[in-house]
Amino acid sequence: MPSITSANAKFALSVKNFLPVPQTLKGYATDTAFTGDDVTTKEVQKGVDGIISAGWLPQLHVQTIELQADSPSLLLFEQWWQAENSQQESYWASGSILVPSIGRLYTLSNGVLSRIKSLAGAQKVLQPFAYQITWGDVIVAPV
């Protein structure tokens, strides 16, 4: 039987003018490492005469990355956010995700840090931190 494990997936991230050497993310949350939102690819309309029309739409790809409160990769996101704040600029990222279990390589480009969790959630134990990157392009290739 084929495997669908995500345990051996590798996610490398770099940020132009800030972190040019790709870093492998580590210390994912218990239930979720990373997810991508659904993407709307078409505007579809049906006229009063019943004829359907459709048009291609440019797409943004929103990805959420969840890291444990003790993840060594938290520092990357905290420093990225602080550097942008100090410069009042957007720093552009690129990344790659290798998922051996399904034989896929996702190449991510033109990404910006679009949402962060700036403070720890303190419950019985510290809760995971979630970060969102909005990517301009995602290319999927078999490996």
Lowest mean pLDDT among 15-19, 78-82, 130-134, 136-140: 15-19
Q: Which of 13, 1, 39, 8 is nearest to 103 (CA)?
A: 8
Q: In what order do the strands lie in the sheet with 19-24?
A: 19-24, 10-15, 93-99, 104-115, 129-142, 61-67, 34-36
Residue 90 DSSP symbol:
P
pLDDT in tens, 88-107: 999 999 999 999 999 999 99
Segment 51-85, tens digit of pLDDT: 999 999 999 999 999 999 999 999 999 999 999 99
Domains of the chain: residue spans and CATH: 10-142 (2.30.110)
